[in-house]
Amino acid sequence: MPTIKGSSRFLRGLARQASIPAADIPAFLCPGLLSIPRLQPLKFCCKLSQLSSQQPRRFLNSAAPSLSFTAPVKQEALLAQASLPEQCSGCGAPSQTVLENEPGYYKVTRKSVKEWIQGRKESPEDTIVKASLENAGELAGDLDFEDFSRPKKNVEPPVCDRCHKLKHHETGVSIHHPSIRSIQDTIFESPHKYNHIYHVIDAADFPMSVVPGLHKLLHLTPQRSLNRRSKTGKFYHGRKTEVSFIITRSDLLAPLRVQVDSMMPYLREVLRDTLGRSGKDVRLGNIRCVSAKRSWWVKELKEEIWHRGGGGWMVGKVNVGKSQLFHDVFPKGRQNPITKPRPSEVPSKAPMTLDTLRESFLREDASDPQEESPQTPEQSEGESEWQAPEPLDTSLLLPPAPQEVDYPAMPLVSSLPGTTASPIRLSFGNGKGELIDLPGLSRGDLELHVQQEHRSSLVMRSRVQPEQQVIKPGQSLLLGGFIRIAPTTPDVMILAYSFTPINSHLTSTEKAIGIQTRTRETNVENISLPGTADKIASAGTFHLKWDVTRERSGPLTRNDAVGLKVERLPFRVLATDILIEGCGWVELVAQVRKPRVENIPAQEIAKAEDENAREAGEWLGTAEENGDKEDVHQEVVDPNWPAVEVFTPEGKFVAARRPMNAWLLTASKPVKGKLQGRPRKSMKGMKKVGKSGRKQG
């Protein structure tokens, strides 16, 4: 910020105009005031932040010849730091200029930061003229001159250096992921009576990104049961907090919106299995399957947020698409205008004359006959001192809400896990509600076992059209060179469809082990870090136990074709989906003979599914109620079910779910050009033509 000494020439010019009775106001600012016969003497209170207590205050009036000040050396740097945003609009970290490697650090010499500071600060000349107008008298003091300085371009608030590097160079370091307890404490600081939790779940590894035990930790309203008399809401400690499950990036599941809509019953049942006992007898009508990339169900969700109001909280794990969803569902441009005019407001279309000014003052005197009390020296001295903005209260987990604007700066969207460092609050509807983007919870550290240049390839950005790979006995399927899927059933061939962004390779089990442990020289790329081979362990054995015979039999069971019942078929088709956390899934399908799957009675299978739901419920937080009791019931497993064993770093990052049959939706259709080509030439009568030709010859 330029010093006051640089403006001494302007002050001397104003002091030379002491003989003018109309006060020292430039004529180009307000020509109408030159005709006023008498005004009060001109006064100016200089507002500085670093003036010493021993230096006396000085007022600019008609008797003062000149005025000069000496500003401290670090005043410009301090004012520049005070001009920065309180929080980074990209990651939400508090602004700071000390720790260069931490989120929220601003380099003052960066171009965007300099433009923001220059657009925010006010020149000394503007301050002098504005103070002159305020002290020019009653007639001039009520004029709304607003900002009469040189207009400047609209500069967006800059982001911190970390967000700048993530946005333009795709380089950065993840933050320390918060715990679910810190998210709980943050939501408990909500100033709203009505809150709504938007539990964001990623479609790439659904339902692995479900946060365990969210209902009990956040005191959410219980899910509505199937009973038609079930209550619609419940208050805890004077607040009502509801939840909605938002499955993001649904364009990864199917190419068309109608296909994704047809999968909603499947997604609801998978989520019910994941919730365990708590989701057994509930409606689960609060599920949304959206796609910000394709704008599927985004407008409907935005309208729900607008009409609901209150506090909306984006809760989920890292890299599930919270910030991108925040971009698209935030109600922009809906700030209600203030229709109540001010008493002293003069229409802009009316000419600014002395008669209109006198009439406005007469109306003010009639409405408010009380005279203002004279300003005491203590009050004037307090106003003359520059007050720095109040610092953020670091003891609170929820930062203060910024000033509401129609089109605020949105959070940064990046593939780096843990981009958001602190809650980002944005209000809408003139205080009707606000939307808060919370930092993501830890999703797993699979990227820590992958080389730096290949970590971005773990994120599925677009729908994958896999190839069908047949895993024969003695073979294994490699994903990225460090995840191995090996069948354990010797006499069954398994069809594999890899819906992952990393490359898959089918080879013999011996070669696959050598590639995974880096003990064999080969052209197959292994994207894991050196030393990961020592951490490879078995993640478990997964059985292909879900029957998909009807979906996979084609015309045999289709009603418009053969129309056979599944019970009459001599075979069964079993399948499962192997989930890779944050990466995708692998669909496994196998066809077996019918006697293989009929060894276990149906009652035992139903009982086993019930016990599985109970185990899932304990995994999601119900184990806290039961204490340290161990479940004595075990899953009933048919030894004739086909099974595979998965080997991953540390034996983690994988799970299984009921099959989605995504291959049937993404299978390639016949090429259009082949169907519309020239038809085959008719061979009718060609045999007779050949015989007649031979007779003539």
DSSP secondary structure of 534-555: GGEEEEEEEE--EE-HHHHSGG
- When pLDDT is averaged across residues 338-356 and rounded to a whole number, the result is 46
- The predicted pLDDT at position 372 comes to 40
Q: Say what the alpha-carbon torsion angle 63, 68, 72, 73 is, to the nearest 10 degrees.
A: 160
Q: How confident is the model at residue 612 (pLDDT cuts 50, 70, 90)?
A: low
Q: How confident is the model at residue 606 (pLDDT cuts 50, 70, 90)?
A: low
Query: What is the residue type of 374?
Result: P
3 state SS of 4: coil
- The predicted pLDDT at position 22 comes to 39
Q: To which H or E segment does residue 593 belong?
A: strand 584-593
Q: Which range has the worst mean pLDDT, 8-17, 198-207, 298-307, 488-497?
A: 8-17
The tokens for 644 are: 């595979």
The tokens for 570 are: 């001599």
Q: Where are the domains of the chain?
A: 5-84+106-153, 174-336+395-441, 448-623+635-668
The tokens for 153 are: 């371009």
- The predicted pLDDT at position 392 comes to 60
- Cβ partners under 8 Å of residue 270, min gap 6: 206, 207, 657, 658
For 28, what's the count of Cα atoms within 13 Å in the CB-facing half-sphere? 2
The tokens for 175 are: 């933050």
- Pick from 431, 428, 427: nearest CA to 399: 427
Radius of gyration, CA atoms only, the chain: 36
Q: What angle do CA 600, 604, 610 make, to 5 degrees?
A: 135
What topology does CATH give the domain 174-336+395-441?
A: Rossmann fold (3.40.50)
Instruction: Compute the distance between CA of residue 648 and CA of residue 641 in angstroms, rounded to an integer.
Output: 23
Q: Which range has the worst mean pLDDT, 219-223, 250-254, 302-306?
A: 219-223
Instruction: Compute the distance between CA of residue 140 and CA of residue 244 in angstroms, rounded to an integer.
Output: 56
- The predicted pLDDT at position 394 comes to 62
**CA distances in angstroms from 506 to 501, 509, 541, listed in the order given:** 16, 9, 19
- 310 or 54: which leads in pLDDT: 310
- The predicted pLDDT at position 350 comes to 46
3 state SS of 96: strand
DSSP secondary structure of 109-154: TSHHHHHHHHHH---HHHHHHHHHHHTS-HHHHT------S-----
Q: How confident is the model at residue 315 (pLDDT cuts 50, 70, 90)?
A: very high
- Pick from 93, 177, 160: nearest CA to 447: 177
Give yes or no for a contact between 250 and 325, defined as CB atoms under 8 angstroms apart. Answer: no
Q: Is the pLDDT of residue 124 over 70?
A: no
Give me the long-range contacts of 606-612 (CB less than 8 A, separation at least 24). Answer: 607/636, 608/635, 608/636, 611/635, 612/273
pLDDT digits (tens, 9 = 90+) for 45-68: 333 334 333 433 333 333 333 334
Instruction: Compute the distance between CA of residue 462 and CA of residue 501 in angstroms, rounded to an integer.
Output: 9
- 535 or 635: which leads in pLDDT: 535
Q: Indicate the burial class of 250 (C-beta count within 10 angstroms; 0-12, 13-18, 19 or more).
A: buried
DSSP H helical ranges for 558-601: none
Q: How confident is the model at residue 393 (pLDDT cuts 50, 70, 90)?
A: low
Q: Indicate the burial class of 144 (C-beta count within 10 angstroms; 0-12, 13-18, 19 or more).
A: exposed
Q: Which range has the worst mean pLDDT, 270-284, 364-378, 431-445, 583-597?
A: 364-378
Q: Say what the alpha-carbon torsion angle 648, 650, 651, 652 is, to the nearest 10 degrees.
A: -90
Residue with tokens 């061979």: 683
Measured from the Cβ of residue 630, the count of other Cβ atoms closer than 10 Å reads 7
Phi-psi region of 51 (alpha: psi -120 to 50; beta: other; left: phi over 0): beta
CA torsion through residues 405, 406, 407, 413, sign: positive
pLDDT digits (tens, 9 = 90+) for 99-115: 888 999 998 889 888 88
Mean pLDDT of the chain: 76
